[in-house]
Structure 1
């Protein structure tokens, strides 16, 4: 079932950087926190540069508290399209379902529990417009916050196409909740690979293999919710197995050799099998640099 309030519009006088318009793509599922979901939505529409469309994918049944916020969103924002999946299919499949419906040249990703800074979209549009060569994928820095909104670490990413490609051999080169990407090249590589909680990294690898033009901004674009629950979710057997799927994908994309992928996959899988507190400590001190 789809609910359509309005299609894309060019009435906002978009900067040249988002010529062809942009759609904010977000997925929500039954386990999301209603309060944080509400704040995430508000941060999208509080931006100084409003989107042409917001496409919200509801990944399976959600509780009444989330349904209430979805109903309010549709009642107050004309550019919202809601696409519902009858059952929970996971983030990759939900995002791919949304990607198939995008009608604009650009997609801007937003997470259902993170807060977009008020000038995020304008900064990305300006950066795309200012570059001397076209960009297909653009990310930026995040301010990590805990569940009480207390600031934690700032997570910046490497800049420059060659540096990004080199970094991608070892770790995820983009903060996924900050990215803006062109719709057509992303569809051409097949969208998000269905790798549990690693679909973003896998997509960047696919785009790099296809020759996508990439960049990161040094500015903080998003306040991203983190904490012990995130480290609890990012562990266990399922996550360790997904790590090996990711390593295979990185090899296929030409970012790694098989020996390096095997060693790296084993090392990271051991970390993911640690108890959550130990994993959190290691993640902050080592994996995040």
Structure 2
């Protein structure tokens, strides 16, 4: 396994330039440097975001591969475009407002080298609101392939911004597809069901930027509906039982209906490890 990888990012008009810069810097300064950073411009951007991209292209002319889309097509389809333009087999996902720890990609590459059968390698995340130094919670996911398979029956077994995967396997399994939300869970379900071997490193190697908008997004009807639709597809593939489908459906409806203050308590108590 060659120790080269591409970084895959998608950006759209509502992103904040200062967060974008922090995210880019965290990938450029990895202990194992990326061979390529693919940035998909998902539709028209602000002048400020364009200036950030132009600045980094001028500074690192051989590093960046810019894919420009005429209109906003959504994260999943934009990532599919980026994957097709990536020149390396190993692709590291990265969001444009999170911060990867310096050793993240080196540790993931080592896993692929040690086990060439691996197709997906993710990590744990630490979450923060205002300052990366003030961690409020962590999302812990299963580490082994068997645990990941079981966990996926009801919840996503990966922290999407942390995953590194094989381009050929993502394409073989159909890519992210056309879903506007939860497209990552749908993709990973298809990959696991198509024999892809996965694992998560038992370390928090990414700082995830959380805020009030994340809770509002989880309470939206489009999010709720998408999650239930993906879970229905997982059930149709035989990956979960009807009890799992009902459990997830009821859970998403509860999240949609309860006030945000109760939603925070539910998520922090049952779905996150809260920092004291």
Fold match by TM threshold 0.5: yes
Out of 139, 146, 169, the residue aligned to residue 155 of structure 1 is 139
Residue by residue over 1:125-149, the C-alpha shift from the partner in whole angstroms, topping out at 9 and shown as x without a partner, is: 1122234x62110001111111233
Q: Tell whether 2:71 aligns with 1:87.
A: yes
TM-score by length of 1: 0.89
8 Å CA contact retained: 1:236, 1:273: no
In 2, Cα distance between equivalents of 1:193 and 1:253: 16
Alignment of 1:23-172 (within 5 A): 23-77=6-60, 78-131=62-115, 134-149=117-132, 150-172=134-156
Alignment of 1:211-250 (within 5 A): 211-250=195-234
Q: Tell me: CA distance 1:86–1:71, structure 2 relative to 1, closer, same or farther (3 Å).
A: same
> Stretches of 4+ moved more than 3 A in 1?
none
Structure 2 unaligned regions, length at least 5: none
8 Å CA contact retained: 1:140, 1:220: yes
In 2, Cα distance between equivalents of 1:273 and 1:200: 24
CA RMSD for the aligned pairs?
1.6
The aligned counterpart of 1:22 is: 5
Residue by residue over 1:253-281, the C-alpha shift from the partner in whole angstroms, topping out at 9 and shown as x without a partner, is: 32113453134213222213333332222
In 1, Cα distance between equivalents of 2:144 and 2:260: 34
8 Å CA contact retained: 2:128, 2:209: yes
In 2, Cα distance between equivalents of 1:199 and 1:147: 27
Residue by residue over 1:19-56, the C-alpha shift from the partner in whole angstroms, topping out at 9 and shown as x without a partner, is: 17311000011111111111000111011111111100
Structure 1 unaligned regions, length at least 5: 1-15
Out of 147, 165, 169, the residue aligned to residue 181 of structure 1 is 165
Residue aligned with 1:100, SS: helix
TM-score by length of 2: 0.93
In 1, Cα distance between equivalents of 2:69 and 2:259: 34
Out of 253, 259, 262, the residue aligned to residue 237 of structure 2 is 253
Q: Tell me: CA distance 1:64–1:176, structure 2 relative to 1, closer, same or farther (3 Å).
A: same
